[in-house]
Amino acid sequence: MNKILKIFIVILIIILIILGVGKYYYEINTKAISTNENIKEKQIEIPKGSTTTNISQILKENNLIKDKNIFRVVSKLKGTEGKLKAGFYTFDTSMTPHEILDKLVEGGNSKNIVKITIPEGFTVEKIAEKLEKNDMANKEKFIDLTYDISKFSTKYDFLKTIPKNMNLEGYLYPETYEIYKDSTEEDIIDKMLYEFSKQYNKVIKESVIPQDLNIHELITLASLVEREAKVDKDRNLISSVIYNRLKIDMPLQIDATIQYAMDERKERLLYDDLEIDSIYNTYKNKGLPIGAICSPGIKSIKASLKPEETNYIFYVLKKDGSGQHFFTDNYNEFLKVKNGK
């Protein structure tokens, strides 16, 4: 046997081994996750505009497929690329990638779905109240669960900077949700945290946070911006004022933190209100409050990551009905606008 023939045979054997291993890997990963003895049902949402890659990620996160790449290969072989539909689905872990793809081509359903909007600036309490009003959750149980951080922090690393004895204030992302009617309070909280995680991975994770704040401090600051800003153009400026005050160790003196500390909200605070004994009283306590005072939207989060570069340390709402604030580094100017002079 000549040398060339020997090399050819070796290469052929290697190719056959690779093909055999590849075939074995493909077959293993196109099987269902569970046997008949250990089947779990999962309810998931495939958002509009999702690619096969996005869908494979969602399925993998929910432990419905073994391998994202094999799922995409199966989709190409079946010719389902571009045919997978958005919607709400109920899958179980006994389904193979082929069966899941067939269902995704058929489309999801909107039966037993309730749509609800959680606005920017809502607190945990307001969210719970709205859910209860729509017969979607028990207010007390929902609020209690938001204090059980350990139940969610293994899945969401960004929760690990939350101080002890605090709740999920600030992390229940404001958005319009479509929720199954039989969802539990825990399911709803998880859905809101998952929505926050998408923004975290897209906007926060790789960003440099000013003044070396941690994630919890950033969300706390963003919640202050959310509650104080009336118009979008003021967000980065209010963020700038807060950072500037933190830098010079000046009390933040933010009225929204007083409102949060009070049992009932007032349209206008009195001087006596500023004396309230609370860890959220930023007139008495320097630095950021211990936690967020609401759920900030993405605009306030972005403004808190990239404040305007200014020397402003004062701002006051203009009296012209525009919703805009007047900003300055001069206390006398601040007083003039505040007093309408």
pLDDT of res. 341: 63
Question: Can you give the pLDDT of all 341 residues of the chain as single tens digits?
Answer: 577 767 766 677 777 777 666 676 667 777 888 766 567 778 888 888 889 999 999 999 998 988 888 888 888 888 888 889 888 888 888 888 889 999 899 887 666 778 899 999 999 999 999 999 999 999 999 999 999 999 999 889 999 999 999 999 999 999 998 888 888 999 999 999 989 998 998 899 889 999 999 999 999 999 999 999 999 999 999 999 999 999 999 999 999 999 999 866 766 777 777 888 899 999 999 999 999 999 999 999 999 999 999 999 999 998 888 999 999 999 999 998 888 76
Comparing CA positions, the residue from 99, 97, 91, 84 lying closest to residue 26 is: 97
Q: What is the DSSP letter of 86?
A: P
Q: CB atoms < 10 A from the CB of 229, how many?
A: 25
In 182-325, which ranges are continuous DSSP H helix?
185-199, 215-228, 235-247, 255-261, 298-305
Give the amino acid at 104: L
Give the distance between the most distant pair of CA atoms in the chain.
104
> Which residue shows structure tokens 């967020």?
292
pLDDT of res. 12: 76
Which of helix, strand or coil describes residue 331?
helix
Q: Report the Cα–Cα distance between both ends of the chain, in Å, rounded.
A: 104
Comparing CA positions, the residue from 180, 146, 171 lying closest to residue 43 is: 180
- Domains of the chain and CATH, by start: 28-106 (3.30.1490.480), 113-204 (no CATH), 210-338 (no CATH)
The model's pTM:
0.73
> How long is the chain?
341
Give the amino acid at 190: D
Q: How many helices (H) and strands (E) does the chain have?
A: 13, 6
Tell whether the torsion through CA atoms of 239, 244, 249 and 252 is positive or negative: negative
**Chain centroid to CA 303:** 16
pLDDT of res. 295: 97
pLDDT of res. 324: 94
Please answer whether residues 315 and 255 qualify as being in contact, where contact means their C-beta atoms are separated by less than 8 angstroms: no
pLDDT of res. 160: 92
Q: Residue 292: CB partners within 8 Å, gap ≥ 6? A: 169, 170, 171, 219, 220, 222, 223
Distances (CA, A) of 310 to 177, 238, 243, 313: 37, 10, 10, 9
pLDDT of res. 21: 63
Give the amino acid at 127: I
Which of helix, strand or coil describes residue 114?
strand
Which of helix, strand or coil describes residue 316?
strand
Q: What is the DSSP letter of 201?
A: I
Which of helix, strand or coil describes residue 84?
coil
